[in-house]
Amino acid sequence: MQKLSTQAEWIARAQAVLPAGGFGNFDPGIVIARGEGSRVWDEDGNEYVDYLIGSGPMLLGHGHPEVLEAVFEQLPKGMTFFANNAKGVELAEAIVDAVPCCEQVRFVASGGEADMYAIRLARAYTGRDKILKFEGGYHGMSAEAQMSLAPAARVNFPQPVPDSAGIPQSVADQMLIAPYNDLAAVEALLSEHDDVAAIIAEPLQRIIPPVPGYLQGLRDLCDRHGVLLIFDEIVTGFRLAYGGAQERYGVTPDICTLGKIIGGGFPLAALGASADIMRHFDKAVVGADKWLMQLGTLSGNPVAAAAGLKTMEILRREGAYDRLRAIGGQLQKMQSDALTQAGIAHRICGDETLFDIYFTDRPCRDYRDAQHDDPGLSALYNDMLRRLGIFKSAGKLYPSLAITEADLDQTKAAVLAAVQALVMRRT
C-alpha cells in the first residue's frame, strides 16, 4: 500500500506551485484534510476544535446532515447552468424576506466581488465618484477596498494608504478615509466634499463594535448629504441575527452585501437594495449610459443556493441564535476570567457571535486603538491554543452551532494552559 503524504510533504508540494506556499488566506503551515461537525483534522491526523469555520460560513459546522441532503438532492439535477434556476430564485426570495434593505438582490460568487459591485452601484445611482471608507475596514480585494485596510503608516485622515502594489494613484484620489466610531470626522468630510457617492462600512468592523448611536448617526448624515450607506454584511449577515446587523442594531442601509453563510459553505455572495437602486442592473429600464453590467459564470449557482437555503431554514428554528450567543458568551467568559485571574490586561472585543482578545487595557473604538500592547503575547497565546487542539485565526474567533459541551471543556483547558504560558513569559 502506498504511504499517504504527510503534512510536511503537502507543505513542500504547495511551496513548489503556490506563491508563498499557500492560497493567500490562512497559515500555509497547516493543511486541513477534513472537517466534521465542530472539528477539523490536518494531514497528520491532528484533531482540532474549529473556531475558524472556513472564516465564517460554516455556522452549522462541517457536513451538517440536512445541508448535505439538500446538496445531494441538487447535484444530479445539475451543478451549474449560467441561467436562472429555481433554487437561486428561492434563495433570493428568502434573502428579501430576511434583510430589511433588500427588495431585490443580485448574486455573485464572492464577498469581495459583491463589495466591488456595491461601490460601482452607488456611483451609478448617485452620479458621484468618491467613496468614504473606514481605516481598518475590510471590503475584499478591489482597488478601492485595498485602501487603508491595514496601513503600516499612520497618516493624517482622510489620506488613503494603498495596501497592495498595482493600484493607480487615480483610485486613491477618489477615496476618503475616516476613523471608525467618529461621527464628527465623517460629518466634516461630507461637509467638505459634495461628490461622495457612498459610505461603505462593516457595521461590526472586523471585531470592533459600533458605539451606541454611531450607525444611526451614519444613516442620518447620509440622508442629509444625499450619500448612500452601504453595509458590508459579508460576515455579519445571518450571524449577528437572522436579519444580520440591520436587525441587531436597528439601522437600515441603502445597499448591503452578503456572503459566507448564504452559500452554506459553497462560493456564493449577493448584494441587495431597493428596487429603485437595483434598476441599474436592468439596461431596458435605465438605458445604456446608466446600466451597470454584471455577470458571472457561477452567479446563482444552484448547489450553493440549495446549501444556503437549508442553512437559513435551520437558522430560523427557535432558539438557534440564543444558543449561538450562549456558546459565544461562555467562550468569552472562560478567557476573560482566566486572563483577569492571571492579572493580564486584555479586552474582549466584538459580539458573542464573533470576537477576539486584544492584549491591552484601552477601549477598542477604532483601528488604531484595536492593537496589542505586546503582540508577542497574542502570538504566544494563539500558538499555545493551536498546539492544544484549538483552531482559530490570529484575530478572530467564530463560534458555531456545532460546538458541544466537550468542545467547551477542551477549549477551557487549553485556555488555562495558554494563559499559564503567558504568565511564565512575563516572569
pLDDT range class, residue 185, cuts 50, 70, 90: very high
State which amino acid sits at residue 73: E
- DSSP secondary structure code for residue 301 in this structure: -
Given a contact cutoff of 8 angstroms between Cβ atoms, the answer to whether 234 and 115 are in contact is yes
Q: What are phi and psi of 418, to 5 degrees?
A: -65, -40
Q: What are phi and psi of 345, to 5 degrees?
A: -60, 135
Per the annotation, the verdict on 260 as an active-site residue is yes
Residue 111 sits in which domain range? 65-315
Alpha-helix runs per DSSP H in 159-269: 169-172, 183-192, 214-225, 244-249
Q: What is the β-pairing status of strands 130-134 and 175-178?
A: parallel
Per the annotation, the verdict on 138 as an active-site residue is yes
Predicted confidence at residue 427, as pLDDT, reads: 74
Catalytic residue from among 138, 214, 367, 398: 138
pLDDT value at 77 more than 70: yes
The string of pLDDT tens digits covering residues 269-315 is 999 999 999 999 999 999 999 999 999 999 999 999 999 999 999 99
Q: CA–CA separation, 150 vs 162, rounded Å?
A: 9
Nine-digit cell at 398? Answer: 467564530
Rounded to an integer, the average pLDDT of 173-192 is 98
The answer as to whether 413 is a domain residue is: no
Q: CA–CA separation, 113 vs 178, rounded Å?
A: 23
Predicted confidence at residue 1, as pLDDT, reads: 46
Mean pLDDT of all residues belonging to the chain: 97
pLDDT value at 331 more than 50: yes
Nine-digit cell at 202? Answer: 462593516
Predicted confidence at residue 2, as pLDDT, reads: 55
Per the annotation, the verdict on 232 as an active-site residue is yes
Q: What pTM was estimated for this model as a whole?
A: 0.96
The answer as to whether 358 is a domain residue is: no
The answer as to whether 76 is a domain residue is: yes
The residue among 424, 415, 356 whose CA lies nearest residue 387 is 415
Domain count, the chain: 1
The string of pLDDT tens digits covering residues 101-158 is 999 999 999 999 999 999 999 999 999 999 999 999 999 999 999 999 999 888 999 9
Catalytic residue from among 87, 260, 310, 392: 260
CATH number for 298: 3.40.640.10
Catalytic residue from among 42, 182, 232, 407: 232
Q: What is the percent of the chain with per-residue pLDDT over 70, rounded to a whole number?
A: 99
Under DSSP, is residue 97 helix (H, G, I), strand (E, B) or coil?
helix
Q: Between these two residues, 184 and 3, which has the higher pLDDT value?
A: 184
Rounded to an integer, the average pLDDT of 353-364 is 96
The answer as to whether 120 is a domain residue is: yes
Given a contact cutoff of 8 angstroms between Cβ atoms, the answer to whether 177 and 135 are in contact is yes
The answer as to whether 144 is a domain residue is: yes
The answer as to whether 425 is a domain residue is: no
pLDDT value at 218 more than 80: yes
The residue among 285, 260, 250, 233 whose CA lies nearest residue 124 is 285
Predicted confidence at residue 152, as pLDDT, reads: 82
The answer as to whether 362 is a domain residue is: no
**Between vectors from CA 235 to CA 229 and to CA 236, what angle results, nearest 5°?**
65
The answer as to whether 140 is a domain residue is: yes
